[in-house]
Amino acid sequence: MGIILGDNQYGKAENRLVRIYRDSPRHEIHDVNVSTALRGDFAAAHLRGDQGNVLPTDTQKQTAYSFAKERGLTSIESYGLELARHFVDTVAPVDAARVEIEEFAWQRVLVDGAEHDHTWVRKGQEVRTASVTVEGRGDEQRTWITGGLKDLVILKSTGSEFHGFHEDSYTLLRPTTDRVMATSLVAKWRFTTTEADWNEVYEGVKAILVKQFAVVHSLALQQTLYEMGKAVLEAYDFIAEVRLSAPNKHHFLYDLSPFGVANDNEVFHADDRPYGLIQASVTRDDAPDPGPAWRQYTGLV
């Protein structure tokens, strides 16, 4: 039985980078976490310790910081595309590059009722994400761009049911027609274009996801996720699929009867674990698919 080297990649993870635009008295800030990963002909490094084809991870870090100035950082999708194309187009041993980015939002401080030009506080509602994967060169080059968000904590106090589920001898959960539904949403959406108003699309997709969570009378979290993804695809014809992951942040009605106190769906115990984890993808049936191997590499899992 032979032993061979399997799939491999390497890169520089979690480069914390802040880009401040000072072109006018009103400054702009972009606070990101950038990770790069390269694939290509790196077998010699693994098998013989030969680093001849290896672009150092420190070089990847330096490139990420310099590109924030050279190419700009106004949207994480366009910035990631510049980085990924650079590694593939200029480093001969590199066949494919993937760039993952998280963006941390800041909100301007109000001074005497007006927004301050150069002072912010961290705005922690959610973290914006993107990944860009570029493979090959020239006319054969393929590109996948995904936008996304994570840690979007959202809750509705009614309009959610859960009943009619399969039961067996171990089932203790009681059916309900009125429950609190809450989650910390993770969403990714795959583009079929490499040119878009990335910031506008992000805000639009987020607004759609939040609206659908609110207005869909939910018989199951699964149903809500499908309606959220469906609404995004209906709004943007250049998005091929939406992938959603929703841990169920359970809120259990607390028993106040030992104290002679009625609890009419008003006081809950918020339980963070264990939790149900509901995941779904909503896809156009005619959208080109990157394939199972590339799903994992491009983050579409």
Q: Do 254 and 263 form a contact (C-beta atoms < 8 A)? A: yes
As a residue count, the chain comes to 301
Active site (annotated) includes residue 183:
no
DSSP 140: G
Active site (annotated) includes residue 163:
no
Active site (annotated) includes residue 250:
yes
Does the model's pTM come out above 0.85? Answer: yes
Q: Do 82 and 205 form a contact (C-beta atoms < 8 A)? A: no
Any binding-site annotation on 268?
Answer: no
> Closest by alpha carbon to 96, among 41, 17, 23?
41
Any binding-site annotation on 179?
Answer: yes
Tokens of 163: 């009943």
Instruction: Find all residues with CB under 8 Å of 240, minimum gap 6, and list them.
Output: 190, 191, 192, 283, 284, 287, 288
Quick one: pLDDT at residue 295? 66
Quick one: pLDDT at residue 124? 80
Per-residue pLDDT of the chain (301 residues; tens, 9 = 90+): 899 999 999 999 999 999 999 999 999 999 999 999 999 999 999 999 999 999 999 999 999 999 999 999 999 999 999 999 999 999 999 999 999 999 999 999 999 999 999 999 988 889 999 999 999 999 899 999 999 999 999 999 999 999 999 999 999 999 999 999 999 999 999 999 999 999 999 999 999 999 999 999 999 999 999 999 999 999 999 999 999 999 999 999 999 999 999 999 999 999 988 999 999 999 998 877 766 655 666 666 5
> Closest by alpha carbon to 98, among 112, 111, 108, 88?
88
284 burial type by CB count under 10 A (0-12 exposed, 13-18 middle, 19+ buried): middle
Any binding-site annotation on 39?
Answer: no
Termini Cα distance of the chain: 32
Check 61, 206, 249, 250 and give the catalytic one: 250
Any binding-site annotation on 58?
Answer: yes
Check 27, 57, 59, 192 and give the catalytic one: 57
Full set of structural domains in the chain with CATH: 1-140 (3.10.270.10), 147-301 (3.10.270.10)
Any binding-site annotation on 252?
Answer: no
